[in-house]
Amino acid sequence: MSKAVVPISGGLDSSVILSIASKQHDDVYALTYDYGQKHKKEILYAGLQIDEYDNIEEHKIIDISFFKDIAPTSSLTNDNIKVAHARDVLGDAQTVNYVPFRNMMMLSIASSYAEAVGADTVYHGSALVDSQAGYWDGSKEFLNEINNVTSLNRKNTIKIEAPLIELSKKQIITLGLDNDVKFKDTWTCYEGDDKACGYCTACSSRIQGFLQNKLIDPIEYQREDIPWGKN
């Protein structure tokens, strides 16, 4: 029996990952992290996504909100730091939206959970755009290195899979459509407002992905200059 652990944030990329994993594995163990993020509402969206699949054995919500205390340098975990807009930071080596070593911490927890439940695969939601936005822990190099570390395990080999790591947002949305992902049940924005801002790096890549697919994103945005239906 094939088992996998899937960290799901509630965002678009991990919703597509979940659709892939639920097809490829008999049992899926889902994890969602509360790391003290401003956009905590994404956790609710993770719950909505879980309901779509019948082979999810368990959905754990893990509290690692101590990140707020140990990593107050990030706009995502510090209310006093403004979330950076994509147009202001593209090309920056490490934007203010970066949460120090967050992905390594999350993947370590997911690997620990995988070993405990007997899963041999842990999914990682990084996509091509993460490297482009400056996240070193969303890069292919990071994926290779973390797999080198998990391969040192002497008894249980756990592979970290990142099926979206070379895909553009346009390609990810296409893949999600093929897998019947309900994009209205996803939350991507780094702000935790009622409507997505449309300006942060997460929103701007999501919007571009829909525009490039000539689709209208089913979620609402505060931003009013998005040319839906005009491209």
Partner 1 sequence: MCGIFGSNNIETFRELCKVNSSRGNFVRSVTYLFPEGLESKTLVKTTHETDFDKPITENPFCIYYLGHVQSPTSKVREFAKKTSHPFSSNGKYLAHNGVLQNDRELIMNRKLKNYNDVDSSIILPLIENIGFKEAIEELEGTFGCWYYDSKKGSLRIFRSGSTLYYKGEYCDGSFSSAALPGYKYIDEGVILEYNFTSRSFIEVDKFKLNMTPFFL
Contact residues for partner 1, defined by CB under 8 A: 86-94, 128-129, 131-134, 136, 139, 141, 145, 168-169, 198, 201, 204-205, 207-208, 211-212, 226
Least distance to partner 1 from the beta carbon of 1, Å?
37
Which residue, 80 or 148, has its beta carbon nearer to partner 1?
Answer: 148
Least distance to partner 1 from the beta carbon of 175, Å?
16
Spatial CA neighbour of 166 closest among 191, 193, 130, 196: 130
Which residue, 27 or 92, has its beta carbon nearer to partner 1?
Answer: 92
Spatial CA neighbour of 74 closest among 124, 42, 37, 108: 37
Q: How far apart are CA 64 and CA 51, in angstroms?
A: 24
Which residue, 94 or 112, has its beta carbon nearer to partner 1?
Answer: 94
Least distance to partner 1 from the beta carbon of 98, Å?
12
Q: How far apart are CA 68 and CA 76, in angstroms?
A: 9
Least distance to partner 1 from the beta carbon of 42, Å?
20
C-alpha torsion angle, residues 132, 162, 36, 67 (rounded to 10):
-90
Q: Are 163 and 4 in contact (CB under 8 A)?
A: no
Which residue, 91 or 229, has its beta carbon nearer to partner 1?
Answer: 91
Least distance to partner 1 from the beta carbon of 165, Å?
12
Which residue, 121 or 201, has its beta carbon nearer to partner 1?
Answer: 201
What pairs with residue 34 in β-bridges?
63
Q: Which residues of 61-89 are buried (b: 16+ CB within 10 A; e: fewer)?
A: eeeeeebbeebeebbbbbeeeebbbbeeb
